[in-house]
A and B are shown apart, each in its own frame.
Chain A
Amino acid sequence: MSRLEAKKPSLCKSEPLTSEKVRATLCVLKGILTSSYGPSGRLKQVHNGLGGCVCTTSQSSALLSNLPVTHPILKILTTSTKNHVSCFSDCGLFTAILCCNLIENVQRTGLTPTTVIKLNQHLLRLCTNYLKSESCGCRIPVDFSSPQTLLCLVRSIVTSKPACMLTREETDHISALVLKAFLLTIPENTKDRLILGKSIIVPLKGHRVLDSTVFPGILIEVSEVQLMKILPIKKSNAFKVALFCASLSGDLSDTGEGTMVVSSGVSLENAVLEQLLNLGRQLVSDHVDLVMCQKVLHPSLKQFLSMHQVIAIDRVGVALMEPLSKVTGTQPIGSLGSISPSSYGSVKDLCPAKFGFKHFLHLIPNEATICSLLLCNRNDTAWDELKLTCQTALHVLQLTIKEPCVLLGGGCTETHLAAYIRHKTCNEPESILRDDGCTQTELQLLTEAFCRALESVAGSLEHDGGEVLTDMKYGHCWSSQAESPSVVNWPDWLSRCGCGLCNSQEELHWSFLKATQHPIAPQTCLPHEATGSSNNLTLDCFTAKLSGLQVAVETANLILDLSYVIEDKN
């Protein structure tokens, strides 16, 4: 008899946000997230007390998937961030921190949820419209003729992940590699639609980061014994390739629902093997040089092929099938019978390669959009972090191709946007208040909460005790070194703003970010080629940040709208 456990009644809590416990946990989560944010963010070590692997990270995706979150409200926040990250790879921490800030700030205002949600939506619309408009002062168009902007974008992403443990030189190297890998995936001649290829990341742990390289084509890992058998590879102009998706192990295929009766003395194995060898004969007579199979090759067939100087590689795995068929131009063969000649493909060259202790067979294509990024790092955790970073960077580059512009990084977008919103709501409140029945005071209160939330995201980039300031002309974000005297000549203490676009030697006025901000109309600061400022900018992905902003505000609205939490405790 199975044990019956008494059903626990569901738990129902009203006004979950007002509870002190929830506020405290929210505050802790915010603390974890803000302290990891940015290039100087602190690392988090996530581990289980019982042992097992340790994860050292500062990335939202790794952090949030490992954090045990129990309260439903926090769950909404973390899941929403995780979903955002799985879509855009970037700006996860930004989204989560902004959401926390918004919730906190709005609660402090004490406005009713209805008003808050309405106004938040208005402010969000202001933001998105501004960011999408041509006049936006924190957006830079991407110039594809020079790699500078894209390189800056990649470097900003790599530097913002301190857990990769890269030196300056290594950072530059990795950024250049990632950009190169990305450029290799762009087809040379495109018709109507641009179909990007794929960069395959090949792991090589325990080596110097500077050993990382990128190759066009595919690296297939093979054992040393296997490689010895293949060698030496005869030279030719092109290698004919056959790629099988069907199993060539000699097992019987699906025989239907009925029964099959085999008379004694009839060996099906022989019959199937005979068939496989026939196939081998056809491959040889078709002058195929390389046979690859997703599944298993029968040993006899393998031997037969190697006798005829055909290289046979099996157990390629389903993940490599699509890139392989792209690189070689083959069509995966699903038949053991006659093979149509059009299914064969070719590679330009085939050469063995050895990196560290691993042996690879390198397939060099004639022209394809697949490349392999051989990624090295000293230890497992750092490698994992580096891999995530490279994937993020590659994804961000893909997103940037779709929407060819970038946003200023280093907190400048946030402060600039906050300044713009303040200015807008102060000077033209009618456009917002027109149809909503909210008062001007309510609008001002909420605008302040909203802008503060944005500004404190920018402020959380600073971790070393320095002051965060904003200038009164462009609305950019500046951060000073720690222990600067209270009254100073700011231009001497500050050199460049967060994104690196503005120079402190211009006639600027600053104010502390924490102090009360006066509405200013932020101007656009254009990159000057002459000063060389455009070479070393900190940039953010436009699409990811825009969506992150929207998701953060929407999630905050959703959480603020909750008046009951009903939990099933069973």
Chain B
Amino acid sequence: MVVACVSSHLRRTGDGAKTFIILLCHLLRGLHTVIDKEQDSLISKNIQTHRRHWKNCCQWKFISQALLTFQTQILDYIMDHYLSKHFLTIFSSSTEERTLCRSSLELLLEAYFCGRVGRNNHYFISQLMCNYFFKCMACESGFEEVFDLVDDYFVELNVGVTGLPVSDSRIIAGLVLHRDFSVYCPADGDIRIVIVTETIQPLFSASASEFILNSEAQFQTSQFWIMEKTKAIVKHLQSQNVKLLLSSVKQPDLVTYYAGLNGISVVECLSPEEVSLIQRVMGLSPFILPQASSQYEICNTASVKFCKPLTLRSKRYVHLGLISTCSFVPHCIVLCGPVQGLVEQHEGALHGAFKMLRQLFKDLDLSYMIQTSDQNHTSSPLTYKDSRESNPLPEIVNGLIQRPYQGTVVKNKGNLAKTQTYLKVYSNLVVPSVELETCIPCSTPKVTPTDTYQTNETLRCLAPTKTRTIDDNEPFIESNSANSTAENTGIEISSENLQVTKIAGKGNMLPVREKSLEMCTSQSYCCSTLPAGCVLPVGGNFEILLHYYLLNYTRKCQQSEESVVSMIIANALLGIPQVLYKSKKGKYSFPQIYIRTLHALQTSQPIVSSQKGLESVAGKYQLLTSVLQCLTKILTIDLVINIRRQPREMYDQDSDEEV
């Protein structure tokens, strides 16, 4: 399952498989130690009767849900608030028109290829890729299209040649089709091409139809007709100045013969991908054969600059100088290498690099819950908590009582644990009080802090606002007493919302009216975007930064499960730079780097990186979310059923678990 997760992640982003595994290991290890430690503290008397394993499972599940919450909320929040100020951009100017900075791209690619291509030629390959990219890009703004195209049609856009040294790899303009001409007629000037997807020669009978032959003469006439028809079509193509016929099927001898007679080159058996690439680049659609009349106009032609055979290592290819109608200027990479495996490795690395860049140049959407709390609109969760602890609560509630049902109370209906990021905002004005009454029984089990995850889950579902709403209905004193018991869980509940504070952006979906209800905790769905092209220096910078901010964050919200989870993640993150700097000594050893970075952060100095390369933030972010998702998957599984097939019978082999 882990492997499946890694490969699906890799398919999408083309980066971070090794980091994925390392991070996952560290997370699991971290979880184990935490669980071991907490075992005693968490087990209360009523749970002890349960089976140990079962309890463990519950715990795992609980943690996995906490992880999900972390992933959907805390992470985005931290990314947006703290980390984003450290991000560098790959564009040379931060103005509206984004121009790619070549040197930063080079650094980025070099760092990327460092781990993928042997030391022998990683510099060469990254230069090649960089050149390729800049050659393919027609205008500054169109690079996203270029990435999409190259990623989708990567196989068609490169040619592998074995037996030559890697340094002979090069970029050639135009498109190289991986086959030879069936007929080649040298042509100059305006070369027009057509694409066909069926045989030009009409056949005796189409599918699901019958052709009845009554006499020999009829047979001969129909053959003659076929011949004449083919001739006419080819002649017509010639009259339209068509010099090249691209066909996705094999054409009969007759067609290639007439094409040759009329000076039309033919390339047969194109793959569907090649056809669609040509269509996309040139905006050319296949030529549909007219059924009846011979008078027709071919509108689906396009011009090419040249069309010639290309010989690479005694194998012949078709080389087309396509004229692009989109922002992608077709170029091909000829990858050479002494052995096939090396060529394939380089191909894979280049493809991965394009995937990585494709991700990098997309805006990354961050979305998380925003909770506007307090009169003060405090941005820090800490303040919010403090305000509760320093007992302004009665006042708040008092305020609420004074204005019963006045404002909107936001209820969190969606199950947060299920990655449901949509939060429906309900106005409590329409909610009848009966409904509120029904909620009261719910709150009763809630108050017992000893209960397992289920109650916590419920708590989470029914956001704290509800508790408070209930409080409104009850006499103040009563609610206060309930509150004192609910406090512990309450903090935990809020903590998940706490991290989400105000955010600059469009996403504030709360109606203005709600602003009047400043006392109440209100939640709203918020999104912000991480601009495309964010990069950080390599060498675990991202991890150390995230670690630092997560630790800071956990310090602010103690006692909660969330903080434990954040802590685990923060520590696991640190494992990556640890591995990276393992072989380094002295000034560049891990502790040194770590301390230096932390110091720089605390004194808010710029962080000096010892390495030159850059890496994509979007890639790192996605890596982290993928790892967390994988982890939650692993944790929710309580039992592995091993099915072993044996010669005589098949049976399921269970562990000693009763399900």
Contact = CB atoms under 8 A, between A and B. Distances in A.
Interface string B199-220: 0000111111111111110011
B611 interface: no
Contacts of B253: 245-246, 334-335
Interface string B154-178: 0000000011111110000000000
Given A83-B162, A342-B261, A561 B210 contact: no
A113 B119 CA distance: 9
Among B165, B338, B341, residue most surrounded by chain A Cβ atoms (within 10 Å): B338
Contacts of B214: 263, 266
Contacts, number: 156
Contact of B120 (A85, A331, A558): A558
B7 interface: no
Nearest to B256: A334
Contacts of A1: 647
Output the residue of B119, B205, B213 with the most chain A CB within 10 A. B119
Interface in B106-133: 118-121
A271 B227 CA distance: 16
A257 interface: yes
Nearest to A118: B119
Contact of B118 (A256, A342, A557): A557
Contact of A254 (B119, B212, B252, B342): B252
A253 B209 CA distance: 18
A297 to B, nearest CB: 15
A270 B216 contact: yes
Interface in A349-398: none
Given A87-B314, A275-B223, A343-B261, A262 B213 contact: yes
B254 interface: yes
B120 A554 contact: yes
Contacts of A268: 213, 216, 219
Contacts of A60: none
B52 interface: no
B51 interface: no
A260 B227 contact: no
B450 to A, nearest CB: 47
A261 interface: yes
Main secondary structure of the interface of B (DSSP, over half): mixed
Contact of B313 (A87, A262, A337, A551): A87
B645 interface: yes
A146 B166 CA distance: 36
Interface string A61-104: 00000000000000010011011111110000000000000000
Contacts of B254: 246, 334-335
Contacts of B581: none
Interface residues of B, number: 48
Contacts of A255: 203-205, 211
Contacts of B255: 334
A84 B210 contact: no
A4 interface: yes
Interface string A301-341: 00000000000000000000000000000011111111010
B298 interface: no
B339 interface: yes
A121 B209 contact: no
B621 interface: no
> In the complex, which of the residues B165, B223, B254, B313 has the most CB atoms of chain A within 10 Å of its own CB atom?
B165
Contacts of B256: 334
B212 to A, nearest CB: 5
Interface in A112-129: 113-114, 117-118, 121
A335 B106 CA distance: 56
B120 A266 contact: no
Nearest to B208: A258
A495 interface: no
B224 interface: yes
Contacts of A270: 216
Nearest to A260: B211
A121 B165 CA distance: 12
Given A253-B252, A271-B219, A275-B223, A84 B338 contact: yes
B211 to A, nearest CB: 5
Interface string A525-556: 00000000000000000000001001100110
A375 B165 CA distance: 34
A4 B648 CA distance: 13
A274 interface: yes
Nearest to B123: A121
A551 B213 contact: no
Given A266-B216, A335-B227, A337-B224, A261 B164 contact: no
Given A259-B211, A271-B220, A337-B224, A254 B203 contact: yes
A516 interface: no
A117 to B, nearest CB: 5
Contact of B210 (A79, A245, A259, A332): A259
Nearest to B118: A561
Contact of A258 (B211, B219, B340, B342): B211
Contacts of B167: 550, 554
Nearest to B251: A334
A267 interface: yes
Nearest to A117: B119
A83 to B, nearest CB: 3
A334 B313 contact: no
Contacts of A86: 163, 313-314
Interface in B427-484: none
B257 interface: yes
B258 interface: yes
Contact of A547 (B164, B215, B216, B252): B164
Contact of A259 (B119, B121, B205): B205
B257 A332 contact: yes
Contact of A257 (B118, B164, B205, B260): B205
Nearest to A4: B645
Contacts of A554: 120-121, 165-167, 338
Contacts of A340: 261
A113 B253 CA distance: 57
A147 B223 CA distance: 57
Given A271-B220, A334-B257, A343-B261, A258 B204 contact: yes
A211 B184 CA distance: 38
A75 to B, nearest CB: 9
A16 B211 CA distance: 68
A335 to B, nearest CB: 5
Given A256-B205, A260-B205, A331 B260 contact: yes
A337 B645 CA distance: 64
Given A80-B338, A555-B338, A335 B203 contact: no
B340 A79 contact: yes
Nearest to B645: A4
A347 B295 CA distance: 41
Contacts of A114: 119
A263 B213 contact: yes
Interface in B220-242: 220, 223-224, 227
Contacts of B206: 256-258
Given A258-B207, A260-B204, A551 B220 contact: no
A258 B207 CA distance: 4
B205 A258 contact: yes
A561 B211 contact: no
Contacts of A259: 205, 209-211
Contact of A558 (B118, B164, B227, B261): B118
13 contacts: A255-B211, A256-B205, A258-B205, A261-B213, A268-B213, A268-B216, A271-B216, A331-B261, A333-B257, A335-B254, A343-B261, A554-B166, A557-B119
3 closest A-B pairs by beta carbon, nearest first, are A334-B253, A258-B205, A256-B203
Given A258-B206, A551-B338, 20 more contacts: A1-B647, A83-B338, A86-B313, A87-B163, A114-B119, A117-B118, A117-B119, A255-B203, A257-B207, A260-B210, A271-B216, A332-B257, A334-B253, A334-B256, A335-B254, A335-B257, A337-B223, A337-B224, A554-B338, A557-B119
